[in-house]
């Protein structure tokens, strides 16, 4: 989970200048990253987006599974780490805000730990009409996963005819460093045939 958050107000009530960003990030442990990628059953050669790639916890295991990865990361320092770490691998590092992502024109999958603050906007894009999404395995706050699986999310009547959603792995707070305040789970999305 990586993303830009609004800077808290200072004691004098003013917000920090826009060039100063507060970046919230909870790194997914390697053990959990491996479990999530294994559960996604990636096939060699598949195009997979890792949105909010951080330092590449999921990207590493996606590459090991044979995927062609687009690692999306907004934070400049973590983007540089990704470029260096995966310089000779089938990984394209993209600087983009997960809430306003340009999706591939060909079929793709998503295996990601996106910033929680943009999860609804990201899901709207992935599930929109015209999206070439085949499947997604997204680490999200557990309550968000329940809301989407139960069909209580805004727009559910539109995307439920094209996609099946179900609850995947439970991901405890301890799977992250530092641990977030809430537990997470994997939202599994599969396109209906």
* Average pLDDT of span 146-153: 92
Residue 3 forms part of a structural domain: no
Does a structural domain hold residue 72?
yes
pLDDT at residue 19, as a whole number: 43
| Domain tally, the chain | 1
Q: Is 155 helix (H, G, I), strand (E, B) or coil?
A: coil
Assigned domain for 16 exists? no
Pairing of strands 176-177, 27-28: antiparallel
Domain-located, residue 17: no
Give the β-pairing of 133-141 and 68-72: unpaired
pTM for this predicted structure:
0.86
Evaluate whether residue 8 is within a structural domain: no
Tell me: the pLDDT tens digits for 3-47?
A: 544 444 445 455 444 444 445 678 999 999 999 999 999 999 999
CATH code of the domain containing 146: 3.40.50.150
Residue 172 lies in a domain: yes
In a domain, 12, yes or no: no
Mean pLDDT value across the chain: 89
Decide if 51 is inside a domain. yes
> For residues 116 and 1, is the Cβ–Cβ distance under 8 A?
yes
Least confident of 108-112, 123-127, 156-160, 188-192: 156-160
Report, as an integer, the average pLDDT of 161-186: 95
Model pLDDT, residue 23: 55
**CA 94 → CA 49, 87, 98, distances in Å?**
10, 13, 10
Parent domain of 154: 23-191
Residue-level pLDDT at 65: 98
What pLDDT is stored for residue 155 in this prediction?
A: 83
- pLDDT confidence bin for 159, thresholds 50/70/90: confident
d(CA 148, CA 144): 6
At residue 11, the pLDDT reads 52
């Amino acid at each position: 989970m990586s993303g830009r958050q609004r800077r808290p107000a200072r004691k004098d009530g003013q917000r920090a200048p826009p060039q100063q960003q507060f970046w919230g990030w909870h790194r997914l442990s390697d053990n959990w990253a491996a479990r999530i990628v294994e559960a996604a059953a990636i096939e060699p050669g598949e195009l997979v987006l890792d949105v909010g790639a951080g330092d590449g916890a999921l990207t590493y295991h996606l590459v090991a599974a044979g995927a062609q990865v687009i690692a999306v990361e907004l934070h400049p320092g973590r983007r540089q780490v990704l470029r260096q770490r995966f310089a000779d691998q089938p990984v394209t590092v993209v600087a983009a805000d997960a809430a306003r992502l340009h999706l591939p024109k060909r079929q793709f999958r998503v295996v990601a730990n996106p910033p929680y603050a943009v999860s609804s906007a990201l899901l709207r894009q992935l599930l929109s009409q015209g999206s070439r999404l085949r499947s997604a395995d997204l680490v999200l706050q557990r309550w968000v996963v329940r809301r989407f699986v139960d069909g209580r999310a805004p727009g559910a009547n539109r995307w439920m005819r094209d996609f099946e959603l179900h609850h995947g792995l439970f991901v405890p707070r301890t799977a992250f460093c530092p641990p977030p305040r809430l537990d997470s789970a994997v939202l599994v999305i599969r396109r209906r045939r």
